Amino acid sequence: MRSAVNIAVHGRVQGVGFRPFVFQLAQKLSLQGTVQNNMDGVKIYLEGEKSAIEEFLTDLKTKAPRLSKIHNIIVEDSELKSAEAFSIIESDRHGTSMLVIPIDSAVCDDCLREMNDPEDFRYQYPFINCTQCGPRYTIIDELPYDRPYTSMGGFPMCDDCRKEYEDPTNRRHHAQPIACPKCGPKVTLLDSNGQVYEAENSIEVTIRLLKAGKIIAIKGIGGYHLSCDARNEQAVATLRKRKNRPNRPLAVMAASIAAAKEFAEISQSETDLLRSPEAPIVILKKNRRYPLAESVAKGMRTIGVMLPYSPLHYLLFADPELSCLVMTSANPSGLPILYRDDEVFQYLSGIADFYLVHNREILHPVDDSVVQLNNGKLDFFRRSRGYVPDPFTTEQDVTGIVGFGGQQKTTFTIGRNEQIFIGPHIGDLENIETINHYRHELDHLLKWIDIPKTTAVIDAHPGYQVRNVVKEYDFSEVVEVQHHHAHMAACIEEHHIPGRAFGIILDGTGYGPDGNIWGFEILYGDAAQYERMAHLCYTPLPGGEKCILEPWRNAAAMLIQLLGEDGVRLAQTIFSDKEREINVLKKLIEHNLNTVYAGTCGRLFDAVSAICGVTKVSSYDGEAAIQLAELVDENNNFEPYSFDLQKEKMMMINFSSMLKELADDVIKKKQISLISGRFHETVVQAIVLTMDELLMKNPSAEKNVVLSGGSFHNRYLRKRITNELQARGFQVFVPESIPCNDGGLSYGQLAVAAAKRRS
Amino acid sequence: METYISLAHGDGGELSHRLIRDIFVSAFGDKNAVMFDAAAITMATHKIAVTTDSFVIKPIFFPGGSIGKLAVAGTVNDLAVSGAKPAYLTCGFVIEEGFPISNLKKIVTDMANEAKKSGVTIVAGDTKVVERGSADGVYINTTGIGVYQPEIGCSLEFAEGDAVIVSGTIGDHGIAVLTARGELGITAPVNSDCASLNNMLEAILKDTSGIKIMRDPTRGGLATTLVEIAEDFQLTINIQETAIPVKAEVHGVCDLLGYDPLYLANEGKAIIIVSAKEKDKVVEILRKFPEGKDAAIIGSISSKEKGRLLLETPLGAKRLLTRLSGTMFPRIC
Ligand SMILES: [Fe+3]
Ligand SMILES: [Mg+2]
Ligand SMILES: [Zn+2]
Ligand SMILES: [Zn+2]
């Protein structure tokens, strides 16, 4: 029987080949009607056999293009219009505006197949792409997304490409970066002086050089990587030395899942993540064999792995003897990722031996995204390429609010209607280059998203650089938000948690309104306001930031403060080469000179790491805590050390007895991994006991808990705290689509301002 | 004479008279001035510079100087960096009851010596004694009067490429005083740089042209002073970390205590911004003076648009520096 329906599809359905997909589906099922884009999605009118319409609806959900994300489909019966064919019709400009900024995606299987087909005219072409894959955000100069406004603007299409581009049934219909060897970009291999080393067989020669242990700067999608053979210990060590990066783990790119399984354990969900269009770096457990160079990720039980995501990357793995490359972003330390061809030689001179470059300009750099599966859920270390700037949907109008983020791992977040856009990972706002990069990307996204500049949100810290940046923008108001309230609000917003919740925030460094450094907090409230219920006892940081760079100082200070003369003795024993310094630290504390007080999880981990002899001086941020956590297997259970809970109005966790026992264990040379495990469990038990007390004191409190702050990357803490709280009937929420670290701060800042605006 | 200052030394009576006569007048030597309520001075008729500063320091005697030397040098330098030739000084003392008179004598002697060295005359003074506990030892205020000289001075007309010069190692005073307090159990590894710079600065003003500005980077240190210049005149100033002279001992103590030499006080240093053409000559002249022997070019003005100070690190990045703020709260995770 012939019938008709109107279908509305909402979600990420524009700019992802959705209309051609609908068109082909309708053709296949002999259905008639129309498809069009409108402001909030795709509108379809369909008529034909009822059974065919039903099949259409099933396929719409299950066979949609891989880049589309359907939030919902609304189907309504309609009058028959006696349409004679199926056609794509002009966009409808009505409805609430839904902005689409396309994202960069890994090369798709169809394109790979063509690239590997000697008969295809794009055989071995490193820039093959289609509507389902290829660069987007990184090459767009201006919206609307159209070839002339991208860095492909300077490459006129050849007849073959144009035919595909214009054919609505072709999978390259309106694929803006469409290209082929005849009309598209080309790669060239340059030597260290920037002279052409090889033009014709540049990839082949690159492979040969990599196999010979050379370090090559490779221009990718979001910027340059530095690359070398991950199995070649000497090459990796040279790269580390030249880049002045002694310890921080390096990410690798493996030729395939099979190649990655040579050195890492990979679950099905991890495979799916690696193979997703976003193609992030996934933190995986090393396997027993682990044939890669030790210095790729020294001291770690994990390794960051990604699969090739551009066609060029795939071509680099043509030789089976080269199955895994170090792929670390080519930025001198403290500077943003390099992406401009004219800057590379300046900054990488003395680091790269050769440069594999191409002439498709990168307009907006993005770093690789980094994720792990943590207690079965997605956990973002860095949300950037492939995810940015895909918007989040919220339940309120957030137009005009911009969260400016924090000082490190900074991002910004922009609100428009019911959409929230988190910008790319920017980095640490210490250097002018990074600050300029921040402003450049913010200006660019603000222009695209085009909102009234109503509310700027910044952290309450008096010294964060964004305080100066925000002055250059003309917002009607500037709102300050406490660091850990922003972390908490981010998770509340992400999960749309109604009512109130506890926020257990374990973090590195955040400015507290009492003038101390916070970071081990139990808060209670919602996105609009919070009350601090409990925290870690403050201990001094004599010398300020120096204590963070050199955790042994913080450890000594903690021992001195919490254990008095006993602590001084322990510190002198454990850091036996620092006798003079410890005496000075003690004096700094006594006279309150250049000393701030802190109660943070990050500093606690740093201190314990130093006491255990794991990391006494950090060479990158978070090193001490990360190295300590790497000693612990989250599938084990440990006996906690003792600790005290001060049950005043404000509850305080005091770890002095733990420190005493732990330091004694270190002196007795007990196994460090066991000490670390017991320390982890002590933190878990202290939090759980505090939560028990809090619930006893506030029996009517809602039993929702959010876990956030950078320390919740820690797999043991996350798993154990979640389990313990769930066993007590709490509903536990963790950040899954935004980083729990400061990369998620701007999103939380926006959430706080939005909630305050509403109330 | 008594050993300690008593309240009666400040009551304007006999003891006050004797204190002034025996300690101040005998040291400063201008007997005429004390005969009247105001000192009568004569000066060349040109534009006059006046500055005042109060000196509060602990300890009052430190390696390389004392509050007395500081009270003269500090005010002399404020005049000198303004391009004026220091001529006269007045001084006011607030003394705590019980303060040893021998110490007061030492302080006054230091003032007299420093005044002589810098060629200024101390012409008027005042003394107040406060009850025990109302002050900490002694505080000194000095007011300086100087004369701008025709034809020479700072142009305040900046251009890209102008050089930033510092007249010697930085942070010496801050470290000397901090360690001299004895609280930290470390002996001072360096002397304070406390010194009058007027003769040296007059020499570069006279013998070169193209000096744009001079400042003394006292409280807040080199960084804060340069941020102020950058903001006041909307300049981007670039300095190179490796070019900034810092004594190894100062580095060592900073490393130990978590201080940054860029933010430590100096009491005998000048920052000079000069045209690129004249920079080498300025350094050459500075180095002829003992106070300027470590003078160095540390950077330049890179643009005339934005008020900001950038520190180029050895790794090639440019750190954006801000002024010293009350507490340096850690920002890193
Ligand atoms: Fe944080
Ligand atoms: Mg002064
Ligand atoms: Zn494709
Ligand atoms: Zn073509």
CB-based contact B183 A591, cutoff 8 Å? yes
Question: What spacing in Å lies between the alpha carbon of B90 and ligand 2's midpoint?
Answer: 15
Q: Residue A107 and residue B102: Cα distance in Å, rounded?
A: 85
Minimum-distance CB partner of A407 among B178, B319, B331: B331
Q: Residue A661 and residue A663: Cα distance in Å, rounded?
A: 6
Q: How close is the nearest chain A Cα to the Cα of B86, in Å?
A: 36
- pLDDT at residue B245 in the model: 98
Among B114, B148, B182, the domain-final residue is: B148
Write the secondary structure of B169-185 as one string of H (helix), E (strand) and C (coil).
Answer: CCCHHHHHHHHHCCCCC
Does the structure show a pLDDT above 60 at A604? yes
For residue A107, what is the DSSP state?
P
Decide which of A694 and A93 is more confident.
A694
Minimum-distance CB partner of A596 among B183, B255, B329: B329
Mark whether B211 and B313 lie in a shared domain. Answer: yes
Give the model's confidence band at B191: pLDDT under 50 very low, under 70 low, under 90 confident, else very high.
very high
Question: What spacing in Å lies between the alpha carbon of A405 and ligand 1's midpoint?
Answer: 10
Helix, strand or coil for residue A448? helix
Tally of domains in chain A: 4
Instruction: Tell me if A434 is assigned to some domain.
Output: no
Instruction: Tell me if B47 is assigned to some domain.
Output: yes
From B59, B13, B285, B35, select the one nearest B192 (Cα to Cα): B59
**pTM score > 0.80 for this model?**
yes
**Dihedral of CA A686/A687/A692/A693: which sign?**
positive
User: In the beta sheet, which residues pair with residue A353?
Assistant: none
Across A95-109, A301-315, A587-601, least confident range = A95-109
CB atoms within 10 A of CB B116: 14
- For A408-422, write each residue's pLDDT tens digit: 999 999 999 999 999
- pLDDT at residue A93 in the model: 65
- CB-based burial label for B157 (10 Å; 0-12, 13-18, 19+): exposed
Mark whether B183 and B276 lie in a shared domain. Answer: yes
Mark whether B177 and B304 lie in a shared domain. Answer: yes
Does the structure show a pLDDT above 70 at A189? yes
- For B269-301, write each residue's pLDDT tens digit: 999 999 999 999 999 999 999 999 999 999 999
CB-based contact B185 A602, cutoff 8 Å? no
Strand positions, DSSP E, A122-223: 187-191, 196-198, 216-219
**Dihedral of CA A425/A430/A435/A437: which sign?**
negative
Give the relative orientation of helices A601-611 and A672-697 as an angle to the nearest 10 degrees.
150
Of all residues in chain B, the one with the smallest CA distance to A710 is: B333
Q: What is the mean pLDDT of residues A139-157?
A: 90
Minimum-distance CB partner of B317 among A433, A508, A515: A433
Q: Residue A107 and residue A314: Cα distance in Å, rounded?
A: 9
Minimum-distance CB partner of B329 among A430, A433, A463: A463
Q: Which domain holds residue A652?
A: 535-733
| A522 touches A690 (CB < 8 A) | yes
Is B314 in CB contact (< 8 Å) with chain A? Answer: no
CATH number for the domain harbouring residue A164: 3.90.870.30
Instruction: Tell me if A439 is assigned to some domain.
Output: no
| A213 touches A227 (CB < 8 A) | no
Q: Which residues fall inside 5 Å of ion ligand 1, going by CB? A: A 507, 742
- CB-based burial label for B248 (10 Å; 0-12, 13-18, 19+): exposed
- pLDDT at residue B37 in the model: 67
Among A65, A88, A111, the domain-final residue is: A88
Average pLDDT of every residue of chain B:
92
Instruction: Tell me if A441 is assigned to some domain.
Output: no
- For A302-328, write each residue's pLDDT tens digit: 999 999 999 999 999 999 999 999 999
Contacts 24+ apart (CB under 8 A), B313-317: B313/A334, B313/B241, B314/B241, B314/B242, B315/A244, B315/A332, B315/A333, B315/A334, B316/A332, B316/A335, B316/A347, B317/A332, B317/A333, B317/A334, B317/A335, B317/A430, B317/A431, B317/A433
| A603 touches A554 (CB < 8 A) | yes
CB-based contact B333 A431, cutoff 8 Å? no
Instruction: Tell me if A583 is assigned to some domain.
Output: yes
**Tokens standing for A428?**
């640490």
- pLDDT at residue A62 in the model: 92
Interface test with A, best of B234, B262, B322, B332 (most A CBs within 10 A): B332
Mark whether A123 and A166 lie in a shared domain. Answer: yes
Minimum-distance CB partner of B257 among A432, A461, A594: A594
User: In the beta sheet, which residues pair with residue B147?
Assistant: B48, B85
**Dihedral of CA A441/A444/A447/A449: which sign?**
negative
Q: Residue A335 and residue B315: Cα distance in Å, rounded?
A: 10
Residues of A in contact with B320 (CB under 8 A): 430-432, 435, 465, 468
Does the structure show a pLDDT above 70 at A95? no
Instruction: Tell me if A424 is assigned to some domain.
Output: no
**Dihedral of CA B109/B111/B117/B121: which sign?**
negative
Q: Residue B256 and residue A426: Cα distance in Å, rounded?
A: 32
Question: What spacing in Å lies between the alpha carbon of A180 and ligand 4's midpoint?
Answer: 4
Instruction: Tell me if B327 is assigned to some domain.
Output: no
CATH number for the domain harbouring residue B144: 3.30.1330.10
Among B101, B124, B148, the domain-final residue is: B148
Contacts 24+ apart (CB under 8 A), A139-148: A139/A177, A139/A360, A139/A361, A139/A362, A139/A363, A139/A364, A140/A101, A140/A102, A140/A363, A140/A364, A141/A363, A143/A101, A143/A448, A145/A15, A145/A100, A145/A101, A145/A102, A145/A176, A146/A176, A147/A176, A147/A177
Of A2, A12, A37, A383, the active-site residue reads A37
Buried b (16+ CB within 10 A) or exposed e, A532-551: bbbbbbbbbbbbbbbbbbbb
Q: Match 């440019």 to its residue by tokens.
A: B318
| A31 touches A50 (CB < 8 A) | no
- pLDDT at residue A575 in the model: 98
Mark whether B169 and B141 lie in a shared domain. Answer: no
Helix, strand or coil for residue A530? strand
**Dihedral of CA B278/B284/B290/B293: which sign?**
positive
Tally of domains in chain B: 2
Mark whether B173 and B25 lie in a shared domain. Answer: no
Does the structure show a pLDDT above 60 at B100? yes
Instruction: Tell me if B122 is assigned to some domain.
Output: yes
Does the structure show a pLDDT above 70 at A706? yes
Q: How close is the nearest chain A Cα to the Cα of B131, in Å?
A: 26
Instruction: Tell me if B158 is assigned to some domain.
Output: no
Of all residues in chain A, the one with the smallest CA distance to B187 is: A584
CATH number for the domain harbouring residue A721: 3.30.420.40
Mark whether B272 and B317 lie in a shared domain. Answer: yes
Contacts of A674 (CB under 8 A, 6+ apart): A638
- pLDDT at residue A107 in the model: 98
Instruction: Tell me if A388 is assigned to some domain.
Output: no
Output the CA torsion B149→B150→B153→B156 (10° steps).
140
**Tokens standing for A501?**
């919740």
Decide which of A93 and B167 is more confident.
B167
CATH number for the domain harbouring residue A293: 3.90.870.40
CB-based contact A461 B184, cutoff 8 Å? no
The number of helix segments (H) and strand segments (E) in chain B equals 9, 13
Instruction: Tell me if A128 is assigned to some domain.
Output: yes
Instruction: Tell me if A510 is assigned to some domain.
Output: no
Strand positions, DSSP E, A460-606: 477-481, 501-511, 517-525, 530-536, 539-542, 595-600
Amino acid occupying residue A299: G
The total number of residues shown for chain A amounts to: 759
Among A24, A55, A88, the domain-final residue is: A88
Does the structure show a pLDDT above 70 at B33? no
Q: Which domain holds residue B84?
A: 7-148
Q: Which-ligand-closest: CA of A66?
A: 3
Helix, strand or coil for residue B29? coil
Give the model's confidence band at B124: pLDDT under 50 very low, under 70 low, under 90 confident, else very high.
confident
Q: How close is the nearest chain B Cα to the Cα of A20, in Å?
A: 48
Mark whether B116 and B171 lie in a shared domain. Answer: no
| B60 touches B131 (CB < 8 A) | no
CB-based contact A588 B329, cutoff 8 Å? no
- CB-based burial label for B1 (10 Å; 0-12, 13-18, 19+): exposed
Question: What's the CA angle centered on B297, arms B292 and B298, to 5 degrees?
Answer: 115
CATH number for the domain harbouring residue B296: 3.90.650.10
In A369-472, where does DSSP find H-type helix?
A: 432-449, 466-471
Q: Residue A148 and residue A138: Cα distance in Å, rounded?
A: 14
Q: Is A19 a catalytic residue?
A: yes
- For A207-260, write each residue's pLDDT tens digit: 999 999 999 999 999 999 999 999 999 999 999 999 989 999 999 999 999 999
- pLDDT at residue B20 in the model: 83
In A501-550, where does DSSP find H-type helix?
A: 546-549
Mark whether A635 and A554 lie in a shared domain. Answer: yes
Does the structure show a pLDDT above 70 at A96? no
Amino acid occupying residue A514: D
Q: Is A37 a catalytic residue?
A: yes
Measured between alpha carbons, how far is residue A535 from residues A313, A320, A396, A605, A713 in Å?
A: 48, 54, 32, 15, 20
Beta strands A302-306 and A419-422, pairing class: unpaired
Of A19, A147, A360, A720, the active-site residue reads A19
- For A668-697, write each residue's pLDDT tens digit: 999 999 999 999 999 999 999 999 999 999
Please identify among residues 224-263 of chain B the ones whose CB lies closer than 8 Å to any CB of chain A. Answer: 255-259
Q: Residue A118 and residue A121: Cα distance in Å, rounded?
A: 8
Residues of B in contact with A505 (CB under 8 A): none
- For A78-92, write each residue's pLDDT tens digit: 999 988 999 988 877
